[in-house]
Amino acid sequence: MQQYLLYTPTLDYDHPLIQAFIEKQVSGVTAPVDQAVRLYYAVRDGILYDPYSITMTVDGLKASTTLAIGRGWCVAKAILLAACCRSLNIPASLGFADVRNHLSTVRMRELMKTDVFYWHGYTSIYLNGKWVKATPAFNIGLCEKFHLQPLDFDGTGDSIYQPYDLNGNRHMEYLHDRGIYADVPIDEMIDTFQKEYTDVQSLQKADFDKDVATEKE
């Protein structure tokens, strides 16, 4: 279990920004489940989801970087939540899966040339003697725009994406479980992205907020 408590270059939980963030969210809260739940919602709604903010470097994936810029893709937000949990001596790992019909826009699908999102990231947290999945990616404002039920987390059961949105349309399909990791498998992820995505650089230059506004007009 010790490996899921360690500080790493990406899970840099001793950074002053992260320590201040944790103190603000869980001051006076001592139960690990309650701490994890508070941190989950703070990351879910306090950090905007941005699938174009993919930076496959240690500096770009650091928990402190995501907190500083206030936005991040699913992996970056999962890293931030895991780092916060580890700082409080709550074991946390990074889980990954390949999914279809991830929340996306028409332009994103055109740029990706696929509807499969490889290495979708979530946080797996060890609470009350078992691992529970927490997916803090989609902030509540985005869920409202896309008619999705926001993912809640109570620290006792898995929080993973629903197969359908509030209108009954297909939303998310889990295709392949890649398991959990103590740290970010950057090299493996880069290898997959280079094989499966034809133009990652164009994705990184795109504006997700603008895409969302256009999509929902």
Mean pLDDT (the chain, rounded): 89
Higher per-residue confidence, 175 vs 115: 175
Domain assignment present for residue 149? The answer is: yes
pLDDT score, position 52: 83
What H or E segment, with its residue span, contains residue 106?
helix 106-112
| Structural domain harbouring 97 | 2-211
Domain count, the chain: 1
Largest Cα–Cα separation, the chain? 49
CA 26 to chain centre: 20
Average pLDDT for residues 183-193, to the nearest whole number? Answer: 94
Number of H helices, E strands in the chain: 10, 6
Q: What is the CATH number of the domain that holds 156?
A: 3.10.620
Domain assignment present for residue 217? The answer is: no
pLDDT tens-digit series, residues 32-62: 999 999 999 999 999 999 888 888 999 999 9
Sheet holding 116-127, edge to edge: 130-134, 116-127, 92-100, 173-181
Contact indicator for 11, 18 with CB cutoff of 8 Å: no
pLDDT over 90 percentage in the chain: 65
Q: pLDDT category, 121, cuts 50, 70, 90?
A: very high
pLDDT score, position 214: 63
Domain assignment present for residue 216? The answer is: no
Please tell me whether residue 125 adopts helix, strand or coil conformation: strand
Domain assignment present for residue 182? The answer is: yes
Contact indicator for 28, 38 with CB cutoff of 8 Å: no
Residues 207, 10: Cα–Cα separation, whole Å: 25
Average pLDDT for residues 139-168, to the nearest whole number? Answer: 88
Residues 136, 118: Cα–Cα separation, whole Å: 17
Domain assignment present for residue 184? The answer is: yes
Radius of gyration of the chain (CA): 16
